[in-house]
């Protein structure tokens, strides 16, 4: 497969022009990152999104791998002296690795098979005679001359059995047959599951006697069946249309001219043996692998979209936050952090261990709130969260009226997901950041900070541990990690980071900055003080011109004398930005002096609309997309795209499941979106499920088409099962 074929396939799959494909491949091969290409090379690709560029990169890698596999297979078959023009064309025209593997199967080195042994015993000529419609003799007559005890063929039956093995393997090796059988099994087969122990209680009870057409199985059911099988609750099989498949193979195997019924019966039996012994199980495995791969890809995509929404939740700035990590015997760990994330105070209380300790916990808790002027509590949703929430609500019911009377700060609380907090707190990174704190207190700090700035804190945790997906632990971990890492990279670069405050974890997701370079940046900052400008980055060891080009536009230096260093304008476009300001009638020095470049200049954007953009872009030496981006950035310099996301719901009181009634309408926050619905936090510790059928009055193909993580939604309680802690919700007619 030459590069032109790859280009044409990418054009077809992604609906792109030839120039776009050529330019993107060139940019990727030069070592440019996806965020950099998406943001600062729009002219080269026609303003393609990060998502499209990532898909492009993945497909390019796959197609190049496919091309390498084809070359390898062709070389191997040529070395065997078995290559034909027809076979070469079939290999070169194959669209997938599965097709290439099917074509390669007859030529692949194999362990010693029954068919091979039969050939070693001299029975291949007999197999060909039995397939010849012009041979009039019965199979037993044709087999008689091949009886040879010295070659372990003691009788006619043994000779015919060996010939049948040869024919069966020939059938099994036919790529065309396997392709058709795979299609028939996929289109007409049934995926079935049975309980290994029908009396056992498990979350897989709906699959204890389950059957569904393979072609209609949704991804979440495939992953659920896989997990149930892995955990030994289920026995899962694919029931293929065996009769139709055997009829198909018989038709392909028995020559139309053959009239001898004994030969027809012999070849029919060989065809059935080929399917049952050599084809069926491998086709089932291939289909299940394909279904699993597609289900995983779909789940990873949903996970990624959920993760974007979670990471892009708006930071809560200017608040002193108390992180509350709930627990029972080991107590609840508390950590107070100031608006910059600096730890002010820590402690441990035992509000869940009896009245005496609860009273003591209340005194300690109130003192921490007052002493540190806490305005917000970030409560983790883990073990003992329900009791801790009730404790917080009880304290605030007394504390807030007194604070209000003294004109002091009142306090609210937010329940946050603590997924991954324990992983982070036990990590080497947390130990380096908080060497003097034990693991539990580090967790409380993380819970507080993830409310202040979710993005900055959550990048310290492996994305798959954040908990906004489904069946993530059953997936290809390398593929999951790469995909989610790309999502985090997109979010971090979309927001941008402060060069002088960003952690190594945050910096390592910036375009062009590896983990070693991120550490070098922080070390340089600690040894030399804050960076005075973007240009000063070039003094960092191992950060060369290429890395600077990739990362500079995504790093902010608010204190720089160059005001454009605090914008998303790339240094390579500073001259164009200044030229634009001049064209707009602004004096840069005057804008800097008045501080308007930092507060925003909407006139730049408004006046640009009335101008010939192509003419201005040409005059300034940039493309129209870059010109537009510069204008947008100067209109609202330093803006945070997360500010457009819904704010978290602040609470001062608590509900329990027992307080809920069918028909009650509540406001909640979407915590997770999966293939069959969305889980919504309505303040009762147990998230309720809005099934996909209850999301909208209109048809919804996938829940993500209607809701996203972090959305604030109105929901109605439609079912309650307190014993199983299940809440059914609806968003219809609200």
Pick the most confident of 106-115, 270-279, 353-362, 561-570: 270-279
Q: Which residue has the higher pLDDT, 520 or 685?
A: 520
CA–CA dist 552, 405 (Å, integer): 50
Least confident interval from 91-100, 513-522, 576-585, 613-622:
576-585
- Residue 416: what are its φ and ψ, rounded to 5°? -115, 155
**What are the tens digits of pLDDT across the range 409-456?**
899 998 888 887 778 888 888 888 888 888 888 999 999 998 899 898
pLDDT at site 634: 80
Q: Do residues 299 and 675 make contact, with C-beta atoms less than 8 angstroms apart?
A: yes
> Which of the listed ranges 258-262, 320-324, 435-439, 448-452 does the model predict with the highest average pLDDT?
320-324
Q: What is the pLDDT of residue 259?
A: 87
Among 438-442, 650-654, 657-661, the range scoring the smallest mean pLDDT is: 650-654
Residues 471-499, mean pLDDT to the nearest whole number? 86
Token pair recorded at residue 252? 């392909």
User: Averaged over 256-279, what is the pLDDT?
Assistant: 93
Q: Of 472, 423, 482, 493, which is closest to residue 302 (Cα–Cα)?
A: 472
pLDDT at 273 over 90: yes
Q: Which residue has the higher pLDDT, 34 or 4?
A: 34
pLDDT for res 392: 92
Q: Which CATH superfamily includes the segment(s) 3-103?
A: RuvA domain 2-like (1.10.10.650)
pLDDT bucket at 1, cuts 50 / 70 / 90: low
CA distance 45 to 23: 6
Confidence of residue 582 (pLDDT cuts 50, 70, 90): confident
User: For the domain 321-452, what is the CATH code?
Assistant: 3.30.420.140
Q: Name the CA radius of gyration of the chain, rounded.
A: 33
404 to 374, 378, 396, 399: CA distances (angstroms): 14, 21, 11, 9
| Beta bridge mates, 333 | 325, 348
Please, which pLDDT band fits residue 589 given cuts at 50, 70 and 90?
low
- The 10s digit of each residue's pLDDT in 45-83 is 999 999 999 999 999 999 999 999 999 999 999 999 999
CATH 1.10.10.650 in the chain, residue ranges: 3-103
pLDDT band at 464 (very low <50, low <70, confident <90, very high): confident
Q: What is the mean pLDDT of residues 359-366?
A: 94
Angle in degrees, CA 274, 170, 143, rounded to 5: 85
Percent with pLDDT over 70 in the chain: 95
Choice between 375 and 652, residue whose per-residue pLDDT is larger: 375
User: How is residue 196 written in tokens?
Assistant: 């290994």
> Each residue of 717-728: pLDDT tens digit?
999 888 888 899
Q: Reduced to 3 states, what is the DSSP secondary structure of residue 412?
A: strand
In eight-state DSSP terms, residue 153 is B
Per-residue pLDDT, 422 = 79
Q: Report which of residues 125 and 587 the model is more confident about.
A: 125
Closest CA to 416 of 89, 216, 650: 650
Inform me whether the pLDDT recorded for 594 exceeds 70: no
| End-to-end Cα separation, the chain, in angstroms | 55
Residue 602, pLDDT score: 47
DSSP string, 698-733: S--SSGGGT--TT-EEEEEEEEEETTTTEEEEE-TT
What number is the average pLDDT over the span 463-479? Answer: 75
Stretch 553-558: mean pLDDT, rounded?
93
Q: Which CATH architecture has domain 657-730?
A: Beta Barrel (2.40)
Q: What is the pLDDT of residue 603?
A: 46
| Residue 595, pLDDT score | 53
Beta strands in 274-360 (DSSP E): 321-325, 332-337, 343-349
State the pairing for strand pair 190-195/321-325: unpaired
pLDDT bin (cut points 50, 70, 90) of residue 609 is: low
For residue 588, the model assigns a pLDDT of 63
Q: What tokens appear for 80 in the block?
A: 């065997």
Q: Provide the pLDDT confidence category of residue 590 given band limits of 50, 70 and 90.
A: low
In the chain, CATH 1.10.150.310 sits at 524-644
Give the separation between CA 106 and CA 174, rounded to whole angstroms: 8
172/273 Cα distance (integer angstroms) = 10
Highest-scoring range by mean pLDDT, 412-421, 566-575, 587-596: 566-575
- Report which secondary-structure segment, H or E, holds 421: helix 421-425
Is residue 607 predicted with pLDDT exceeding 70? no
Percent of the chain with pLDDT over 90: 59
- 481-486 contacts at long range (C-beta below 8 A, 24 or more positions apart): 483/300, 483/301, 483/303, 483/304, 484/300, 484/303, 484/304, 484/307, 485/509, 486/34, 486/54, 486/304
Q: Compute the average pLDDT of residues 144-173.
A: 94
Range name among 403-417, 470-484, 599-613, 677-691 with the lowest pLDDT average: 599-613
- Please answer whether residues 328 and 353 qualify as being in contact, where contact means their C-beta atoms are separated by less than 8 angstroms: yes
Considering the chain, tell me which residue range(s) the CATH 2.40.50.140 domain(s) occupy. Answer: 657-730
Residue 606 has a pLDDT of: 44
Report d(CA 546, CA 377) in Å as an integer: 44
pLDDT number for residue 535: 96
Average pLDDT over residues 275-300: 93
Q: What would the mean pLDDT of 234-254 be, rounded to a whole number? A: 95
Q: 524-644 in CATH: which number?
A: 1.10.150.310
Mean pLDDT over 457-471 rounds to 78
Computed over every residue of the chain, the mean pLDDT equals 89
């Amino acid at each position: 497969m030459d590069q032109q074929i790859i280009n044409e396939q990418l054009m077809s799959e992604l609906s792109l022009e030839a120039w776009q494909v050529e330019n993107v491949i060139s940019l990727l091969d030069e070592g440019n990152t996806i965020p950099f290409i998406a943001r600062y090379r729009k002219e080269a690709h026609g303003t393609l999104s990060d998502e499209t560029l990532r898909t492009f990169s993945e497909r390019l890698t796959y197609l190049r791998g496919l091309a390498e596999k084809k070359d390898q297979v062709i070389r191997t078959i040529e070395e065997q002296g078995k290559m034909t023009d027809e076979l070469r064309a079939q290999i070169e025209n194959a669209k997938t690795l599965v097709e290439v593997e099917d074509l390669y199967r007859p030529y692949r080195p194999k362990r010693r098979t029954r068919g091979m042994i039969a050939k070693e015993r001299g029975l291949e000529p007999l197999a060909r005679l039995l397939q010849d419609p012009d041979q009039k003799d019965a199979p037993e007559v044709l087999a008689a001359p091949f009886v040879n005890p010295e070659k372990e063929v003691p009788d006619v039956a043994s000779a015919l059995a060996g010939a049948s093995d040869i024919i069966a393997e020939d059938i099994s090796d036919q790529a065309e047959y396997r392709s058709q059988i795979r299609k028939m099994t996929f289109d007409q087969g049934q995926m079935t599951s049975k309980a290994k122990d029908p009396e056992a209680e498990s979350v897989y009870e709906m699959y204890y006697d389950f059957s569904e057409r393979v072609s209609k199985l949704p991804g979440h059911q495939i992953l659920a069946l896989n997990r149930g099988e892995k955990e030994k609750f289920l026995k899962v099989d694919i029931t293929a249309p065996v009769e139709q498949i055997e009829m198909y193979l018989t038709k392909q195997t028995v020559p139309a001219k053959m009239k001898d019924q004994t030969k027809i019966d012999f070849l029919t039996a060989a065809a059935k043996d080929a399917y049952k012994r050599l084809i069926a199980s491998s086709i089932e495995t291939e289909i299940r692998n394909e279904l699993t791969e597609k289900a995983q890809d779909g789940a990873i995509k949903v996970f990624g979209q959920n993760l974007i929404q979670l990471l892009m939740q708006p930071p809560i700035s200017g608040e002193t936050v108390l992180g509350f990590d709930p627990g029972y015997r080991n107590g609840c760990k508390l950590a107070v952090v100031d608006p910059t994330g600096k730890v002010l105070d820590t402690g441990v209380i035992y509000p869940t261990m009896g009245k005496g300790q609860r009273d003591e916990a209340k005194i300690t808790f109130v003192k921490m709130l007052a002493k540190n002027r806490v305005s917000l509590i970030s409560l983790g949703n883990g073990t003992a969260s329900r009791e801790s929430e009730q404790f917080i609500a009880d304290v605030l019911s007394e504390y807030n009226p007194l604070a209000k009377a003294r004109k002091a700060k009142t306090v609210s609380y937010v329940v946050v997901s603590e997924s991954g907090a324990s992983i982070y707190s036990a990590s080497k990174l947390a130990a380096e950041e908080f060497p003097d704190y034990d693991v539990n207190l580090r967790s409380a700090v993380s819970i507080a900070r993830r409310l202040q700035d979710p993005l900055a804190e959550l990048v310290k945790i492996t994305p798959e541990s954040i908990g906004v997906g489904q069946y993530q632990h059953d997936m290809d971990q390398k593929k999951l990690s790469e995909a989610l890492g790309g999502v985090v990279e997109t979010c971090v670069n979309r927001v941008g980071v402060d060069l002088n405050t960003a952690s190594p974890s945050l910096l390592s997701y910036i375009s062009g900055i590896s983990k070693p370079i991120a550490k070098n940046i922080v070390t340089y900052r600690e040894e030399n003080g804050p960076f005075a400008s973007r240009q000063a980055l070039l003094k960092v060891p191992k950060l060369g011109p290429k890395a600077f080009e990739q990362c500079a536009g995504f790093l902010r230096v608010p204190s720089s004398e160059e005001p454009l260093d605090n914008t998303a304008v790339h240094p390579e476009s500073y001259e164009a930005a200044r030229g634009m300001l001049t064209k707009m009638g602004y004096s840069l020095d005057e804008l800097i002096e008045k501080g308007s470049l930092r507060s925003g200049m909407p006139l730049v954007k408004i006046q640009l609309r009335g101008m010939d953009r192509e003419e201005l872009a040409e005059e300034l030496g940039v493309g129209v997309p870059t010109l537009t981006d510069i204008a947008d950035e100067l209109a609202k310099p330093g803006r945070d795209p997360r500010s457009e996301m819904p704010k978290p719901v602040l609470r001062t009181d608590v509900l329990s499941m027992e307080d809920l009634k069918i028909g009650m309408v509540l406001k909640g926050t979407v915590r997770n979106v999966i293939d069959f619905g969305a889980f919504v936090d309505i303040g009762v510790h147990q998230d309720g499920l809005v099934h996909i059928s209850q999301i909208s009055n209109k048809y919804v193909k996938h829940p993500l088409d209607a809701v996203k993580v972090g959305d604030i939604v109105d929901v109605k309680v439609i079912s309650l099962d307190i014993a199983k802690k299940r809440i059914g919700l609806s968003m219809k007619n609200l």
